[in-house]
Structure 1
Amino acid sequence: MSDAALLQTAAAFAAGLAPPLSPSICPFCFALFLNTMKPKSHESMLLLKKCHAFWDAMMVFICSDWTLDRRQIVSNILARTAFLCNKCKPRGRQTCAVPAVPGVTTSAGLANPFALVYQMTCSCLHGGVINHIDGSKGFGSKRGRWPTSADQLFPYGPTRSMASLVAQLGTSSFAESVITDVVSLHRPLAFPALLIPNTRHFLIDYVVTCLSACPVAVNADLAKLRQPVLPAVRDAIVQRHLDECYYTALMLHIVVAGPDNKPDDGSRFYFLREKEVFTALDGVVLLSDGRDGWGWLAHLATHVWHRMSGFERVAVGHSDPPSYARELERTEHVHANPYRALRLYLTDGMRGSRECRGPGCGKTVHDKPTPGAFARCGKCRIMQYCSRECQRADWKRAPFPHKEICNMLQELLSFAPVDLPMSADEFAAACTAHAYPLEHVDRLILWATDGEVVTQFAIGGQAAPCLSSLGSDIPLAFLLHGPCRIPDTMNCNHELFQAAQTLAAGLDPPFAPSLCPFCFALYVEEVKPNERIAHLLQPKGHSFWNATMAFVCADWTPERQDSVSKQLLRTGLKCRRCAHTGSPHSLFGFVFGLARSCIHAALINPIDRYKGFGRKPHRWPTTAEQLFPYGAERSISALADRIEEYPNVKAVMIVLLSSHRPLVFPPLMDHRGRLITCFVKDFRTCASGFDAALAKLRQPILPAVRSALVRKHYTSCEGAFALLLSLTHGVDSTSNDGWLFCMGHEARLFLALDAVAALLDGENGDKVYRTVRHYASQLWVSLAESERERLACVGPPSYAQEVQTVEAMEDPYCALRYCLSHRPHHRNCCAPGCSKTVHSPGAPRAFARCGRCRAVQYCSRECQRADWAGAPFPHKAVCDALQELLTFASLDSAGMSADEFSESCNAHTFPLDRVDTLIAWATRGKTCTNYTARAGSSKLLFLPIERLADEGIASTPEGTPFLISFPTTVEGRKISQDDLHMGMSEFKKQMDAEEQCTQ
């Protein structure tokens, strides 16, 4: 047939196929014509370039919505046109040469013309067109080959077109081949359409049915034969049935692991259906084990096995990995050899990927405005980019600049190309022969896995097993249609992030959660004890932390708690993965406690102490709205309402105060009555519990037994005391925070804490115990004389006698450390009159410090200039002194104790005049010493309580009333007369007495 006649015939068939519901072609003439469309033949290539209407008509035909009634109507129309056809005779119809494709026979065509046309169309599109299009290119080419746009390949749009193709599965339509080809060629458009719930479930049902029927059919055929069956006969029967399900298995493989696949595509596709899919695959794999060309199916079954829970594995009879599991080779053998591990991660990372490798680009070849493939790097020929801008950005992109990686790849590919059919042993042998540096191996693996797998082959270590290449991640939020579940193990960072996304969707909205509480518990058990995992989630798991914080800070009335508990119980019972049969008494409390522990694990990170809401590296929280989803006042109020019902809320309040005190402290002040009542209750519970336990033991009690009882019962109030300490003397606290919080409740707090301090008296080994005794002593000082008489505690408590006296302050360096030690805990701008903190709008991620002493910080250069010459304590006068001091001493007690600080100052002969200057500067003139002229103590030191765990408490000299004060700060607020409690007059008298001592 000439080219002109071929084009004319194709145009006629295209016209005859339109409209699809009323075709006018002869099915047998059409079948004979399609039989000439051989792969890459002259005829097919000519039609691809010059007769797009022919291919368009066939795609429209197979992608139409073919219901059973429509199929029958069209079949009758085609039968009528066949008998009216003048070109083909009855005899010709009976001997029509129909291509040998599964399910396509001449008899079938005579009985059902629609099936013949549909099958032949799918066969032609698969064998002659789609299967041979260059997958590295987008739509179209410079030669104008079909398809040139997405509309031609998906005539009704991707969603409707793919749904129609899936609906034809099971009708001997050969639609598997078209689905396989379309997903391989244009996954970004085709795969999301297969994730639509109805389409996904129909496709999985078909795959499971087809694959499950294979072993059954084999066993049925073997049962018909006389036993024993010869191996050759058995192999022939098995091969025949395997061929029948080959295209179905291949379709599943391409859908979950085809070109351009993402690590989580497999889990997103068979989510909640893993057990069924594995059972079907397992039967086929056992039949095909050892046969050439079927190894990929065993690998696929292994992936599904890893996604099942322990309960599901037991249910299918595979609690241990199946015998054919290729994953064992990955974890035990591959990772022991650096070059085998390199090949694994390189091939998994680069196979079938057609995206632009520019940082943050994500464009595929289908987004390319011009025909052809992306341009590749001219040196390594591995990386591809959509533009020169992306290539330049990737050349210097941290932490994996292609400038560094390119040379490594170029050297490797010069002797071991990863794109050639080279076995793992051959690849490893080639690398060994060329002594490829192990440092390059470590770096390339880190690059190929985007930092998720860290190896240490260069120093004798090995790679940690990683399931990222198995498609092990949890489905995204929009796939949740039922109880939310997570995998039993989380072996890679990507899986961790995807599980977080799923759980975030399950917690939203808070009053109607859809997650399984027991699966949530499994996840939290992985995150909570490991702060490293929590820190990994902070940059990439914002949705998880947002949802968790919104759940914790919601307005939980008793009715809402009961409703959510019932909802969580329903989702837990429906969860197939965990199959949990029991439940806690209150599922709301159970989930609430888990969410609280997660938030605590995220916020406890000390490295962001001097930063505001995150910038780089974008750790959560990046804004106040993320940390306080309902506003600071409402969110903190909700937490305060739960403090008695859920004691672990105290830990969240502590980390919130430490991180963001300016936003957290004011709302807590509105609830101080509730908080103080909770503290008093916990302190009394601790003391009464200890007394009751002590009374049950035979007297006298051994010291070791008593100490053990103290430790046991102190834990009941440990959280309360830690929160009280954070509220009154925590990071960024001011001089009067303690007075304002305790105002009017000093007697209650002292009476309750006194009982705890009394039982801790004598337990000198623990710094925390000394802090409790110190705090109780401070509360006693704040009491008025009338209150002391009413409480029968006129004199200082017995445990207060151990407090360090002022004579111990005769060491000027010890006094200096006390005055300077509170500064590292403040994150405000040090300029006079500036009240900005790191949380202020527009503030940088951390304030800039003085470039010389590194001891003070400023929000701007203007503030730094103002403080440099600001009266009465210009930084110019103390910068040199601080710089000299900090070259050999540390102000942080965690790094240097008071004795070590003093010894270091003495060893370096730090000038006493500078000691006087620094003390006056640190206290803004409230403390004036004269160590230069005399050897004595200042007699007016106020110790920061955050350091009391190390240093004890200072008192006034003999002859004056016993005094222990709350700490002063440089920028503390002034207490008005109306704010002072009834004992303030006594406090003023003591202050006056101290001032006279310094004159």
Structure 2
Amino acid sequence: MVPRRILLETGLECFRESLNDLHAPATCATHLIGCVTTIFNFPPSTPRSNAEMDVMVKAVEKHYEFLNLAVSFVAVPRTSRQLLKLTTDLAKCDCPMSHPGSTQLHDLGQHWVNDMACKDVTTLLYFLLFVPSAILKGVNKTRVAKGSNKHWPRSISDIVPFGFDALVEALSQWTVVLANPIPLLFLGDALHVCGRPLFTAVTTSPTFMDRLISLLRITCANMRRPQKSEQLPVSYFYIIAVFLFHVMAQRTSQNSIMIWVRGRELELYPILSEAVTITKDPKLWPRTVQRDATGIAMIVNIFHAFAFHFSKDVPRPPGLHPELAPARESPEIEPVIRLYDLLSTRRDECYAPGCMRSLQEVGHAFQKCGACRKVTYCSKACQGADWKNTEYPHKLICRQLQSFIAASGSATGHPKDNFFEDFDQAEAEAVTAPLLAWVKARDAQKELQDLEKSMRGLAKTEKDEGAVEMIPDLRSNS
């Protein structure tokens, strides 16, 4: 057995030498898996706790060159023929064993291929993207946008080495070749950091929607196979749902998703219905997999929310799963998406009406409202404009927002300041209940404003006609 320190050095050196040519690696996928898992300091089995993930992230986030090389290997532009040749070559084992520990790395890679019960190329891509995605979840987006982050990624170019369109094309190609959504792991978290430019690349890609529909269809077919040889497909719906969540959270308007899907609604409806049916049917899950009620509810809710955003003008066909049809017009789904959309994921966008510029576009950190500490602005002028906004003035909703944050923090048992950081661990009811109340209060406030405006208009008319009455202050009785 080679000592850990030497094995790590060997893994880094072998990985670098193997990917000297991104289109023709010098070693097989199994050997590369051994290199990657050694560098990531993976335990004997996949990590199950946040503590294990933190250890891996801290161990690897300083390996700047390695992480850049891993992302470049996945994201480099390739033709379909080049990608098929690459996957064929990676499956062949003719690796030089010149470094000390090379055999041990190869055996380690084979262990993980067997443990995952997946093809070697599928397992390799999972490990290449798993930890970089975890790093992006906790990265300081402002520092990355300014190019001043201390560790990886130092700038947006590390996440998108060949451009936004090239990243979307490359990752969607991988989903087709591997017939699984693992590349969407990275793309979803990259959306969280890169914001609007990457969202635009996803929603304007001429091929991405076709490949997403094909991926959903293949995943449904795989889940219905009597013999499921792979363990990973059971989590495929979760990966797809989380990716769609990131897309919806980054939407630039209420119609963005509808425009993106336009013309494909009737294809998506039955596929999403099938995905929901499989997700909620325990008979279609492998016996070895423990079903998580909260995770299942999240998948179903996100699929419904996605259908809700593109179906406003298209009637839903008959025979859909009850969770998708008939359409639910209540705002019960909206708060779940709005939580990340309004208060977490979009902290890097200006909330002033008509602005919505991202920090990637502005290039500097935004200032938060001094009261609620959640709503952000790119300038004092935008803050003033939002404070006096005629539709939803922040002057009126700021106090409601503070109440929601306080109620959410106490409801989850987390300190108020840590509530959003601990959102993933919060119970669904603890999140949706106070948020739904806040949304209703906000909508009620608008109705109140509209009613008061109408009454004042009526009073002015009656005054002109000689009938003078006092207009009560509606807010005092609300």
Offset at residue 552 of structure 1 (A): 0.9
Distance in 2 between the 1:712 and 1:565 partners? 21
Distance in 2 between the 1:635 and 1:815 partners? 30
Q: Does 1:523 align with 2:43?
A: no
Q: CA distance change for structure 1 residues 816 and 762 in 2, over 3 Å: closer, same or farther?
A: closer
Offset at residue 564 of structure 1 (A): 8.6
Query: In the TM superposition, what are the counterparts of 1:454-533 in structure 2 within 5 Å?
Result: 472=5, 487-488=6-7, 490=8, 500=12, 503-504=15-16, 506-514=18-26, 520-526=32-38, 527=40, 529=47, 530-533=52-55
Offset at residue 821 of structure 1 (A): 6.5
DSSP 3-state at the match of 2:177: coil
Distance in 2 between the 1:801 and 1:870 partners? 37
Offset at residue 801 of structure 1 (A): 7.7
Query: In the TM superposition, what are the counterparts of 1:110-125 in structure 2 within 5 Å?
Result: none
Offset at residue 856 of structure 1 (A): 0.6
Equivalent position of 1:102 in the other structure: none
Query: In the TM superposition, what are the counterparts of 1:50-89 in structure 2 within 5 Å?
Result: none
Equivalent position of 1:594 in the other structure: 124
Select 1:652's aligned residue among 174, 177, 186: 186
Equivalent position of 2:239 in the other structure: 719
| 1:41-65 per-position Cα deviation (integer Å, ceiling 9, x unaligned) | xxxxxxxxxxxxxxxxxxxxxxxxx
| 1:287-307 per-position Cα deviation (integer Å, ceiling 9, x unaligned) | xxxxxxxxxxxxxxxxxxxxx
- The one-letter code sitting in structure 2 at the alignment partner of 1:739 is M
Select 2:355's aligned residue among 815, 834, 837: 834
Contact 1:889–1:896, Cα closer than 8 Å, also in 2:
no
Equivalent position of 2:139 in the other structure: 608
Q: CA distance change for structure 1 residues 852 and 863 in 2, over 3 Å: closer, same or farther?
A: same
Q: CA distance change for structure 1 residues 862 and 929 in 2, over 3 Å: closer, same or farther?
A: closer
Equivalent position of 1:678 in the other structure: 214
Contact 1:538–1:619, Cα closer than 8 Å, also in 2:
no
Q: CA distance change for structure 1 residues 540 and 499 in 2, over 3 Å: closer, same or farther?
A: farther
Q: CA distance change for structure 1 residues 749 and 831 in 2, over 3 Å: closer, same or farther?
A: same
Equivalent position of 2:58 in the other structure: 536
Equivalent position of 1:381 in the other structure: none
Contact 1:831–1:864, Cα closer than 8 Å, also in 2:
yes
Distance in 2 between the 1:919 and 1:783 partners? 20
- The one-letter code sitting in structure 1 at the alignment partner of 2:239 is G
Offset at residue 613 of structure 1 (A): 1.6
- The one-letter code sitting in structure 2 at the alignment partner of 1:309 is V
| 1:562-618 per-position Cα deviation (integer Å, ceiling 9, x unaligned) | 479659844435555323789989xxx846853552333123233226546265551
Offset at residue 896 of structure 1 (A): 5.7
Q: Does 1:620 align with 2:152?
A: yes
Equivalent position of 2:293 in the other structure: 766
Distance in 2 between the 1:816 and 1:798 partners? 20
Distance in 2 between the 1:861 and 1:767 partners? 41
Contact 2:75–2:167, Cα closer than 8 Å, also in 1:
yes
Query: In the TM superposition, what are the counterparts of 1:917-996 in structure 2 within 5 Å?
Result: 918-919=442-443, 928=447
Distance in 1 between the 2:374 and 2:280 partners? 37
Equivalent position of 2:165 in the other structure: 633
Equivalent position of 1:555 in the other structure: 77
Equivalent position of 1:664 in the other structure: 198
Equivalent position of 1:879 in the other structure: 398
Distance in 2 between the 1:767 and 1:777 partners? 15
Q: CA distance change for structure 1 residues 512 and 672 in 2, over 3 Å: closer, same or farther?
A: closer
Offset at residue 888 of structure 1 (A): 4.2
Equivalent position of 1:22 in the other structure: none
Offset at residue 506 of structure 1 (A): 4.2
- The one-letter code sitting in structure 2 at the alignment partner of 1:918 is R
Distance in 2 between the 1:626 and 1:718 partners? 26
Distance in 1 between the 2:382 and 2:264 partners? 39
Equivalent position of 1:186 in the other structure: none
Quick one: percent identity of the two aligned structures? 16
- The one-letter code sitting in structure 1 at the alignment partner of 2:131 is A
Select 1:751's aligned residue among 234, 247, 270: 270
DSSP 3-state at the match of 2:34: helix
TM-score by length of structure 1 reads 0.34
- The one-letter code sitting in structure 2 at the alignment partner of 1:668 is V
Larger radius of gyration: 1
Equivalent position of 2:254 in the other structure: 735
- Higher RCO by CA contacts (8 Å cutoff, separation 6 or greater): 2
Offset at residue 499 of structure 1 (A): 5.6
Contact 1:829–1:835, Cα closer than 8 Å, also in 2:
yes
Query: In the TM superposition, what are the counterparts of 1:776-787 in structure 2 within 5 Å?
Result: 779=307, 782=311
Q: CA distance change for structure 1 residues 879 and 686 in 2, over 3 Å: closer, same or farther?
A: same
Offset at residue 542 of structure 1 (A): 1.6
Distance in 2 between the 1:679 and 1:556 partners? 19
Contact 2:335–2:439, Cα closer than 8 Å, also in 1:
yes
| 1:64-120 per-position Cα deviation (integer Å, ceiling 9, x unaligned) | xxxxxxxxxxxxxxxxxxxxxxxxxxxxxxxxxxxxxxxxxxxxxxxxxxxxxxxxx
DSSP 3-state at the match of 2:162: coil
Contact 2:249–2:341, Cα closer than 8 Å, also in 1:
no
Q: CA distance change for structure 1 residues 723 and 577 in 2, over 3 Å: closer, same or farther?
A: same
Q: 591-600 vs 615-624, which deviates more?
A: 591-600
DSSP 3-state at the match of 2:23: coil
Q: CA distance change for structure 1 residues 723 and 868 in 2, over 3 Å: closer, same or farther?
A: closer
| 1:477-517 per-position Cα deviation (integer Å, ceiling 9, x unaligned) | xxxxxxxxxx33x5xxxx6xx96476345423313545675
Offset at residue 870 of structure 1 (A): 4.1
TM-score by length of structure 2 reads 0.66
Offset at residue 829 of structure 1 (A): 1.1
Q: Does 1:578 align with 2:107?
A: no
Distance in 2 between the 1:531 and 1:765 partners? 20
Distance in 1 between the 2:339 and 2:89 partners? 55
Contact 1:613–1:621, Cα closer than 8 Å, also in 2:
yes
- Aligned pair count? 399
| 1:225-244 per-position Cα deviation (integer Å, ceiling 9, x unaligned) | xxxxxxxxxxxxxxxxxxxx
DSSP 3-state at the match of 1:674: helix
RMSD: 4.7
Q: CA distance change for structure 1 residues 561 and 799 in 2, over 3 Å: closer, same or farther?
A: closer
Contact 1:545–1:599, Cα closer than 8 Å, also in 2:
no
- The one-letter code sitting in structure 1 at the alignment partner of 2:196 is P
Contact 1:534–1:602, Cα closer than 8 Å, also in 2:
no
Structure 1: state its 5+ residue gaps: 1-307, 311-466, 473-486, 694-707, 906-911, 934-999
Distance in 1 between the 2:149 and 2:155 partners? 13
Distance in 1 between the 2:187 and 2:432 partners? 36
| 1:511-533 per-position Cα deviation (integer Å, ceiling 9, x unaligned) | 35456755532332241545335
Distance in 2 between the 1:734 and 1:783 partners? 14
Equivalent position of 2:370 in the other structure: 851
- The one-letter code sitting in structure 2 at the alignment partner of 1:551 is F
DSSP 3-state at the match of 2:360: coil
DSSP 3-state at the match of 1:544: helix
Distance in 2 between the 1:673 and 1:801 partners? 22
- The one-letter code sitting in structure 2 at the alignment partner of 1:657 is L
Query: In the TM superposition, what are the counterparts of 1:186-265 in structure 2 within 5 Å?
Result: none
| 1:959-984 per-position Cα deviation (integer Å, ceiling 9, x unaligned) | xxxxxxxxxxxxxxxxxxxxxxxxxx
Offset at residue 854 of structure 1 (A): 0.6
Distance in 1 between the 2:185 and 2:337 partners? 28
Offset at residue 868 of structure 1 (A): 3.2
Equivalent position of 2:459 in the other structure: none
Equivalent position of 1:168 in the other structure: none
DSSP 3-state at the match of 1:622: coil
